[in-house]
Amino acid sequence: MVAIGLSAGAVARLRFALSCLWEVVASVRVLRDPGDHAIHLPWVNRVRPRLIEAGLVGADGGLLWQLVPRAPGYLADFLTPPPAGLTPDLGQELSALRATPPDTVRAQLDLYPGDRPPALEGLYADPADGLRRLAEEIGTYWRLALAAEWPRIRALLDAEVFRRARRLAEEGAAGLLNDLHERVRWEGDALLISQRHCAAPDVPEGSGLVLVPSVFVWPSVLSIAAGDVPQLAYPARGLGALWECPPAAPDALGAVLGRGRARLLAELDAPRSTTELARRTGMSPAGVSQHLAALRAAGLVVTHRAGRSLLSGRTPVAEALLTAAG
C-alpha cells in the first residue's frame, strides 16, 4: 500500500498533466506482456515488427527495454520526471531525463533485482552518457511507435482532463479522487493506492499530487510516491474505441445533413480537434470548421477548450440521431 499525504493545502495544489514519457514507459510494458493489455493488441500488432527490426524491443532490446520490466517489476522513477502541464513536450521531458543527477540514477538502478545486463551496467558506470543514449532511443521509439498515433491519443487524454476537471468542480476532491480507479481511494489526509508489489515509501506530506491520465497504463495504475512531486498515472476513460475505426455515417443521416456533416458526426465518437478531424476525413481544416459551426448551431455538436486545442464532441441529440438513422 502506498499512502500519499494529501492535506488540505496539498489538495489545493493538486493538478493534472499529460506526459509523453509516461506513455512511452507504459507502452513498453504493454509490448512486454500484450496478453494483459488486450485492448491495445491492434497497436501492438502494428508497431512491434518495426520496433524489433530497429532493435528496440525483444531479446536484443537496448536501454529502454532493459529499464522497463514486465509488471509488476520495479520501474526507475527517473524515467518519468514530473511533467510540466497540459501541453506535453517530448523534447522538454527528455531534457529533464538527461538532467537526472548521477547519484539518483545509480541509487535507483541498485533497486533492480539480479545482475545488471550490459546495457544497464554501462548506464551505471557513466550515467550522463547513458542518459544521452537513452534519450536518443526514446526519440526513435516515439517516431516508430507513437508519433503517428499521438493525435488520437492526445484527443482522448484532453477529453479525460476536461471530464475530470468538471467532476472536480461539481463534486470536489473526494468525488474526483475516489473515482479514478478501483485501487485508489482518499481517506482522511492520504491517498491510498493498493499495489501489491510496490515497495515505495509513504509520503506523509508533499507539494500536492500530479494526476497523469494515460492510455497505456490500463488496466492498472502506476505511482511515484518518492521525491518532492508525487505522481499517479491512471487509465483514461474511453479506451475501448481508441484503436477502432469509427462506424460509417448512416446513408439516411447523410441524406438529411449532407454527407460531410454526417461523416463528422460519425467521427466524433470521442472529442476531437479540427486538425484531427481533417486528417481522419480528408477534408480541409476550413471545411471541417464550417461544418462544425453548422452542427453547433443545430445543437448537434459542442466544443470546449483543452489547453491550446478546441475539442468538439457529439451532444445527446446527435447520439440519438445516429442511433435512429442506424
Alpha carbon of residue 208 to chain centroid: 20
**pLDDT tens figures, 295-321:** 999 999 998 876 677 888 888 888 888
Query: 13 in helix, strand or coil?
Result: coil
Report the alpha-carbon angle 145-309-79, nearest 5: 40
Q: What is the mean pLDDT of residues 182-206?
A: 61
pLDDT value at position 206? 54
User: What's the rounded Cα separation, in Å, for the pair 48 and 57?
Assistant: 8
Burial (CB < 10 A; 0-12, 13-18, 19+), residue 138, is buried
**pLDDT tens figures, 44-102:** 999 999 999 899 988 778 899 999 998 888 889 999 998 988 888 999 999 999 999 99
**pLDDT tens figures, 214-262:** 999 888 888 776 667 788 888 888 887 788 765 566 777 888 889 889 9
pLDDT confidence band for 200 (50 / 70 / 90): very low
Report the alpha-carbon angle 237-239-244, nearest 5: 150
Closest to 195 measured CA to CA, from 227, 217, 172: 217
- Which of 42-51, 192-201, 268-277 is predicted with the least confidence, judged by mean pLDDT? 192-201
How many other C-beta atoms can be found within 10 angstroms of the C-beta atom of residue 255?
Answer: 11
Strands 210-214 and 15-16 turn out to be parallel
Burial (CB < 10 A; 0-12, 13-18, 19+), residue 148, is exposed
CA dihedral 7, 160, 29, 73 (to 10 degrees): 10
Mean per-residue pLDDT over the chain, rounded:
84
pLDDT confidence band for 197 (50 / 70 / 90): very low
Q: Are 208 and 13 in contact (CB under 8 A)?
A: yes
pLDDT value at position 1? 65
CB neighbour list of residue 208: distance below 8 Å, 6 or more residues apart: 10, 11, 12, 13, 14, 15, 229, 230
Report in angstroms the alpha-carbon separations of 232 from 14, 52, 73, 191, 291. 11, 30, 17, 10, 39
Answer yes or no: is pLDDT of 133 > 70. Answer: yes
pLDDT value at position 101? 95
Query: 15 in helix, strand or coil?
Result: strand
Answer yes or no: is pLDDT of 202 > 60. Answer: no
User: What's the rounded Cα separation, in Å, for the pair 108 and 112?
Assistant: 7
Q: Are 6 and 190 in contact (CB under 8 A)?
A: yes
Delineate the domains of the chain, giving CATH numbers in brackets. 2-239 (no CATH), 251-325 (1.10.10.10)
Q: Are 235 and 219 in contact (CB under 8 A)?
A: yes
pLDDT value at position 48? 92
Assigned C-alpha cell, 224: 511515484
Answer yes or no: is pLDDT of 139 > 90. Answer: yes
Answer yes or no: is pLDDT of 287 > 80. Answer: yes
How many other C-beta atoms can be found within 10 angstroms of the C-beta atom of residue 155?
Answer: 24
The secondary structure of the chain in percent helix, strand, coil, rounded to multiples of 5, reads: 50, 15, 35
